[in-house]
Chain A
Amino acid sequence: GQNIDQPTEMTATEGAIVQINCTYQTSGFNGLFWYQQHAGEAPTFLSYNVLDGLEEKGRFSSFLSRSKGYSYLLLKELQMKDSASYLCAVRDRDYQLIWGAGTKLIIKP
C-alpha cells in the first residue's frame, strides 16, 4: 500500500529553526508537495520538489532524496504565525496526490 509518515506534533521556539520530516512509500513518484494548513482553513501551497536536493524559498526550504523516500521542510526564523499543520503529499504514478496526516507545529514565545 501507499504510505506517508510525518511526526504528529512538534514544538519550537519563536526565532528558532525547525525541521519537519516526511518519509514515503508510494507506487511511483511524480513530485512531492508541502502545504501549510492553519486551523479551520484550507491547505495552501508551500513548496514542490521533483529532483533531489534543496529548494529554498525565503524562510522555508524543502529537501528531497528520492532514493531514500525522504523529504524535510525547514522553517527558519520562526514566527508565531507559523503555528499550523504542515502536510506532505506525494504525487504517484497515476498523478494522484497521496497525503500524509500532517504535522502540527506549535510555536512558543
Chain B
Amino acid sequence: NAGVTQTPKFRILKIGQSMTLQCAQDMNHNYMYWYRQDPGMGLKLIYYSVGAGITDKGEVPNGYNVSRSTTEDFPLRLELAAPSQTSVYFCASHPLQGGGQETQYFGPGTRLLVL
C-alpha cells in the first residue's frame, strides 16, 4: 500500500490564481481530512469527509472547496489564492470508526506559498 499520497509537494502561486491539491489513499478508508499547519501552530481542520459523496466544513473552510466522488480521492480546491493561504497542507485518513483508536494516517504534505 502507498498509504496517503499528496501532490504536488511544493507550489508557488500568485495572488488570485487557483489550484487543486490532490490527495489519494489506497487503504479503503471512509474518513478523510484536510488540515493546514502554519509555522509554530497546531493543525487546523479545513474540510472533512465521512464517505464518498459526503463532505463537511471544518474550523477554517473559507477560501477552499472539496469534493469526494470516490472513496480514494479527496481533492482540495483553492479558487482565489491569498497570502493568508500560505501554509503546509496535510491530508489524512482513517477507517470507519469502531469505538477504538482510529489513528489518522497522514500524507507527506503540500507546501504552498502565495505571493
B51 at interface by CB-CB < 8 Å? no
Cβ contact within 8 Å between B101 and A31: yes
Chain B residue with the shortest CB-CB distance to A87: B42
Number of chain B residues close to chain A: CB under 8 A? 18
A41-B108, A42-B107 known; A101 vs B41 contact (CB < 8 Å): yes
Cβ contact within 8 Å between A99 and B104: no
Q: Tell me, in angstroms, the Cα distance from A92 to B22 when the chains sit together.
A: 28
Cβ contact within 8 Å between A42 and B106: yes
Cβ contact within 8 Å between B103 and A48: yes
A74 at interface by CB-CB < 8 Å? no
Which of B42, B58, B101 contacts A102, CB < 8 Å? Answer: B42
Q: Chain A: interface residue count, which band?
A: 20 to 34
Q: Tell me, in angstroms, the Cα distance from A43 to B42 when the chains sit together.
A: 11
8 shortest A-B CB distances, which residue pairs? Answer: A99-B42, A42-B106, A48-B101, A99-B43, A45-B103, A101-B42, A100-B42, A101-B41
Could you pull out 24 A-B pairs where Cβ atoms are within 8 angstroms? A8-B40, A31-B101, A41-B109, A42-B106, A42-B107, A42-B109, A43-B43, A43-B106, A45-B103, A50-B101, A87-B42, A87-B43, A89-B42, A95-B97, A96-B48, A96-B58, A97-B43, A97-B45, A99-B35, A99-B44, A100-B42, A101-B41, A102-B40, A102-B42
